[in-house]
Amino acid sequence: MDNFSLELIRATPTHLKEVELVERKGVGHPDYICDAVMESISVALSRVYIKEFGDVLHHNIDKGLLVAGSVEKGFGVGRVITPMELIIGDRATFSVGRKKIDVEAVAKECVKRWFRENLKRVDPERDVRVRVVLKPGSVELQEIFKEKERIKAANDTSAAVGYAPLTPVERAVYECERFLNSTAFKTSFPESGEDVKVMGFRYREELNLTVAMPFIAEMIRSEKEYFSKKKEVLVALKRFAKNLPFRRVNIDFNTLDRPGRGMGGVYLTVLGTSAESADSGQVGRGNRVNGVISLNRPSGSEAAAGKNPVSHVGKIYSILSHLMAKEVYERVDGVAEVYVWLLSEIGLPINRPKSVSVQILSEDTLHHGRVRKDVLKIVDEFMAGMEHFTGELARGEHPIC
SS3 of 275-319 = HHCCCCEECCCCCCCCCCEECCCCCCCCCCCCECCCCCHHHHHHH
Residue 355 CB burial class (10 angstroms; 0-12, 13-18, ≥19) = middle
**Residue 356 to residue 339: CA distance in whole angstroms:** 11
- Whether residue 245 lies inside any domain: the answer is yes
- Cα 163 to Cα 8, 154, 378: the distances in Å are 15, 22, 15
**Residue 187 to residue 182: CA distance in whole angstroms:** 9
CB 159 within 8 A of CB 341: yes
Quote the pLDDT of residue 107: 98
Model confidence at 367, pLDDT cuts 50, 70, 90, reads confident
Residue 290 has pLDDT above 90, yes or no: yes
CB 332 within 8 A of CB 342: no
CB 191 within 8 A of CB 265: no
Quote the pLDDT of residue 146: 64
Among 340, 337, 353, 329, residue whose Cα is nearest residue 300: 340
CB 114 within 8 A of CB 23: no
**Residue 121 to residue 275: CA distance in whole angstroms:** 13
| pLDDT tens, residue by residue, 64-80 | 999 999 999 999 999 99
- Whether residue 339 lies inside any domain: the answer is no
- Whether residue 64 lies inside any domain: the answer is no
| pLDDT tens, residue by residue, 84-142 | 999 999 999 999 989 999 999 999 999 999 999 999 999 999 999 999 999 997 655 55
Quote the pLDDT of residue 24: 98
| Over residues 261-280, mean pLDDT | 97
| Over residues 257-283, mean pLDDT | 97
Boundaries of domain holding 244? 15-25+168-282
Quote the pLDDT of residue 364: 78
| pLDDT tens, residue by residue, 191-240 | 999 999 999 999 999 999 999 999 999 999 999 999 999 999 999 999 99
**Residue 380 to residue 384: CA distance in whole angstroms:** 6
DSSP assignment of 227-279, as one string? HHHHHHHHHHHHHHHTTSSSSEEEEEESTT--TTSGGGGS-EESSSSGGGTT-
**Residue 31 to residue 392: CA distance in whole angstroms:** 24
Q: Are strands 19-25 and 293-294 parallel, antiparallel or unpaired?
A: antiparallel
Q: Are strands 215-216 and 268-269 parallel, antiparallel or unpaired?
A: parallel
**Residue 295 to residue 336: CA distance in whole angstroms:** 19
- Whether residue 120 lies inside any domain: the answer is no
* Helix (H) or strand (E) run with residue 84 in it: strand 84-92
- Whether residue 21 lies inside any domain: the answer is yes
CB 13 within 8 A of CB 165: no
Quote the pLDDT of residue 396: 97
Among 156, 172, 204, residue whose Cα is nearest residue 17: 204
- Number of domains forming the structure of the chain: 1
Average predicted confidence (pLDDT) for the chain: 95
Quote the pLDDT of residue 187: 98
- Whether residue 57 lies inside any domain: the answer is no
Among 85, 48, 16, 137, residue whose Cα is nearest residue 280: 85
Residue 25 has pLDDT above 70, yes or no: yes
Residue 148 has pLDDT above 70, yes or no: no
Quote the pLDDT of residue 378: 98
Percent of the chain with pLDDT over 90: 93
Q: What is the CATH number of the domain that holds 264?
A: 3.30.300.340
CB atoms within 10 A of CB 261: 10
Model confidence at 345, pLDDT cuts 50, 70, 90, reads very high
**Residue 211 to residue 208: CA distance in whole angstroms:** 10
Residue 145 has pLDDT above 90, yes or no: no
| pLDDT tens, residue by residue, 164-200 | 999 999 999 999 999 999 999 999 999 999 999 999 9
Residue 150 has pLDDT above 90, yes or no: no
Percent of the chain with pLDDT over 70: 97
Q: Are strands 77-82 and 293-294 parallel, antiparallel or unpaired?
A: unpaired
- Cα 292 to Cα 169, 171, 401: the distances in Å are 10, 9, 8
- Whether residue 352 lies inside any domain: the answer is no
Residue 2 has pLDDT above 90, yes or no: no
- Whether residue 47 lies inside any domain: the answer is no
CA 332 from chain center: how many Å? 28
**Residue 217 to residue 266: CA distance in whole angstroms:** 10
